[in-house]
Chains A and B, each alone.
Chain A
Amino acid sequence: DARVTQTPRHKVTEMGQEVTMRCQPILGHNTVFWYRQTMMQGLELLAYFRNRAPLDDSGMPKDRFSAEMPDATLATLKIQPSEPRDSAVYFCASGLPGTSGETQYFGPGTRLLVL
């Protein structure tokens, strides 16, 4: 049963600390998305990659957020320094080329709380 995996599932940290979230896309999927979900803003696209290259990161605050794909099996999202307003659930999704909503598979999410 192919699934997107994300670690950690929960993270509590203090303001100013670095946070790293990891995602393992489904094997063979070469498009990876990072989303953030809050009660107020809903689900927002932060960035997405194809074949490890960033295609769009316009939704991501550039000063503190960074996203990378060191290899085809790992995507990372880093926040440095973290702030309380970053508290949210961060989802990773993966899909195939030309993927649309029909073929985006979401991971279980990382629930982040910044104190």
Chain B
Amino acid sequence: QKEVEQNSGPLSVPEGAIASLNCTYSDRVSQSFFWYRQYSGKSPELIMSIYSNGDKEDGRFTAQLNKASQYVSLLIRDSQPSDSATYLCAVNNFGNEKLTFGTGTRLTIIP
């Protein structure tokens, strides 16, 4: 079992709809969770971080964390074609600089 698992997709969502991206992790001591966006041929860029159970909103993005279920998700509201990218989930333990990444979910927003 991989430490961080994501559905590779592709996930296709109509423009204006909500895109839902999911990630599960195996290490119960994981404490920090991150979503990166990576456009084709580019480097990953951080878009959301979450540390506590519940929801965290930033503009059109909402990260959701459920530590009991070892599950973290990213919701993108009012999806735009510019949201088309691969989304990487990453986790680490508090005080540990090492990030473990999932293989990413490719998201396509259909105009």
Q: Which residues of A contact B (CB under 8 A)?
A: 31, 33, 41-45, 48, 55-56, 91, 95, 98-102, 104, 106-109
Question: Can you add 6 more A-B contacts, CB < 8 Å, to A42-B102, A106-B45?
Answer: A42-B103, A48-B98, A100-B32, A100-B34, A101-B92, A107-B43
Overall SS of chain A's interface: strand
In the bound complex, do residue A100 and residue B101 qualify as a contact, i.e. CB atoms below 8 Å apart? Answer: no
Q: Could you name 9 residue pairs across A and B whose Cβ atoms are closer than 8 Å? A: A42-B102, A45-B100, A99-B97, A100-B32, A104-B97, A104-B99, A107-B43, A108-B42, A108-B43
In the bound complex, do residue A31 and residue B101 qualify as a contact, i.e. CB atoms below 8 Å apart? Answer: no
Q: Which residues of B contact A (CB under 8 A)?
A: 32, 34, 36, 42-46, 49, 88, 90, 92, 95, 97-104
Residues of the B chain whose Cβ atoms lie less than 8 Å from the Cβ of A48: 97-98
Residues of the B chain whose Cβ atoms lie less than 8 Å from the Cβ of A109: 43
Other-chain residue from A43, A55, A95, A99 in contact with B101 (beta carbon distance below 8 A)? A43
Of chain B, the residue at the smallest CB distance from A41 is B103
Minimum C-beta distance from A40 to chain B (A)? 8
In the bound complex, do residue A95 and residue B97 qualify as a contact, i.e. CB atoms below 8 Å apart? Answer: yes
In the bound complex, do residue A101 and residue B34 qualify as a contact, i.e. CB atoms below 8 Å apart? Answer: yes
With contact pairs A100-B32, A101-B90, A102-B49 given, residues A42 and B101 touching in the complex (Cβ less than 8 Å): yes
Minimum C-beta distance from A105 to chain B (A)? 9
Of chain B, the residue at the smallest CB distance from A100 is B32
Minimum C-beta distance from B18 to chain A (A)? 24
